[in-house]
Chains A and B, each alone.
Chain A
Amino acid sequence: MNDQWIDVCAVGEIDEEDVMRFDHGPHTFAVYRSAENEFFATAGLCTHEKIHLADGLVMDHVIECPKHNGRFDYRSGKALGAPVCVNLKTYPVRVEAGRVLLAVTAAG
């Protein structure tokens, strides 16, 4: 593993308990900030019908897809029931000097 850390945004650009879309090359990600002020990242598209998750609602560590209400725990990527059954990929995130960084090596 030679993780490549990519600059996503300043910490303040994502509201608390919200999500932001982040595109990098051919990949699209959803980057989350929890109510506890922690940051997480998952694949950007819902595993159900490839809708951008960043338009969905974040509450209580759950992202709900904007279209079909598929729900995932964004910390683990776990799908929480129909209509979604395939988990989301997750990506390492860290905060450094007020910036949110994402490791994209594992992106697929």
Chain B
Amino acid sequence: MNDALIIVGAGHAGGRAALTLREEGYTGRLILIGDEAHLPYERPPLSKGLLQGSIDLAGCSLCDEARLAELDIEHIAGNSVRQLDPAQQRLQLADGQWLAYAGLLLATGGRARRLPQAQANVLYLRTHDEALALKAALRPGARLVVVGGGFIGLEVAATARSLGCAVTLLEAGPRLAGRVLPAVISEALLDVHRLHGVEVRLNVALESIDADAVVLVDGQRLPCDLVVVGIGMQPNIALAAAAGLDVGQGIRVDAHLRTSAPNVYAAGDVCEFRLDGQYQRQETWRNAEAQGRHAALNLLGRELAFESLPGFWSDQYDWGLQTVGVSTALTVSRPLPTSGLLLFYLDAEHHLQGACGWAPGNSVAKDIKLCERLISARIPLNPTSLADPDLSLKQLLRG
């Protein structure tokens, strides 16, 4: 078989897959196609360090040009794929060129969901170039309205405060990051943002965005210089859908990350896979890293089921949130000596299924890593003693 392995989407998942293929010994032709002009990069710094100027694109990149050349990875940048022909195992680039593949990975990611309202002074944040535009606009004293109390909105609000902007944050729901966080952590986030001078408004709906103000449905005008909208991601599924692949809210895959088309895999933000029996996507660094690597291994014929635990982190001001696993109805709460909080999620047999922690800096990381190991170990735990901060999780793990 002389045909290439092709990766469509040169973000984190696609980039990690390309690097993994070479590290695992694949020596055939390898093509990485992306519509952005840049080398594959990680997105978490875009809402924090990149806006603050403490990290640049090179610092976020998975590798440099020299490494890509050394690994003989053909990077087709700034070019999108026009169509996919799974029956013939080939695809066509926007410039008309056809490329045949022996195996294909779709890591097409997504784009920032747009507001339906007409928009002046509205910025979104998904790509490096969008982050640079936002960086230029976040001047000290600028009046910023953030639309959306999810992680992008919250991290942009925190960074903008650190840069001296006046920030109002609008959330349609009753609490912050309510789709993914327990109420007690949403409350803690609200406290820290209010403490840092963000005017947080919950349960509000937008009427319009004017050139100099955001207007709420109740008629209030919020004068501002700039609006950042963080209301979620729109997965890039059009290419797969047009080619007849099974899609839902993302490109659907089986336990091996295989799509419904032969020799076509999906990974990263766009990948819709079953977790606890439910189709869902994971828009996280951790998932892009794990699935990019995993899809690469399966492109090489490893036939491995994807069983990696979900997880994410968020940094806001000098606090850090980390989660691992999934939440359950049986929650045990442990206060941390740092004034932070660690939540354990247990199943009916008191096996750990997930954990969520909120504490200064990265101080909750050790506990979350130990929880990850406790989830895998499937040791039955005692809910009462888990609540005690003096009980060492490492001791539990060691038995």
A interface residue numbers (CB < 8 A to B)? 17, 49, 51-52, 55-57, 59, 64, 66-69, 82-83
Contacts and interface: CB of A to CB of B under 8 A. Distances in A.
Interface stretch (B150-158, B206-214, B273-281, B359-367): B359-367
B394 interface: yes
B47 to A, nearest CB: 14
Q: Which 3 A-B pairs have the closest CB atoms?
A: A66-B365, A55-B362, A66-B362
A57 B16 CA distance: 24
25 contacts: A49-B59, A51-B362, A52-B362, A55-B362, A55-B363, A55-B366, A56-B362, A56-B365, A57-B365, A57-B366, A57-B369, A57-B370, A64-B369, A66-B362, A66-B365, A66-B366, A66-B369, A67-B362, A67-B365, A82-B19, A82-B23, A82-B289, A82-B293, A83-B62, A83-B289
A82 B362 contact: no
B26 interface: no
B285 interface: yes
B230 interface: no
Dominant SS at the A interface?
Answer: loop
A4 to B, nearest CB: 29
A17 B289 contact: no
Contacts of B20: 82
B313 A67 contact: yes
B268 interface: no
Contacts of A82: 16, 19-20, 23, 289, 293
Interface string B373-396: 000000000000000000000100
Interface in B35-76: 42, 45, 55, 59, 62
Given A49-B45, A49-B59, A82-B16, A68 B362 contact: no
A69 B286 CA distance: 9
Interface in B1-42: 16, 19-20, 23, 42
A64 B62 CA distance: 19
A68 B365 CA distance: 10
Contact of B366 (A51, A52, A56): A56
A75 to B, nearest CB: 19
Contacts of A49: 42, 45, 55, 59
Contacts of A67: 313, 362, 365
Given A17-B394, A68-B289, A82-B23, A55 B361 contact: yes
A51 B54 CA distance: 12
A68 B369 CA distance: 11
A82 B291 CA distance: 13
A56 B368 CA distance: 10
A54 to B, nearest CB: 9
B179 to A, nearest CB: 23
Contacts of B62: 83
A68 B285 CA distance: 8
Nearest to A52: B362
A59 B362 CA distance: 18
B135 to A, nearest CB: 18
B24 to A, nearest CB: 11
Contacts of B366: 55-57, 66
A83 B374 CA distance: 23
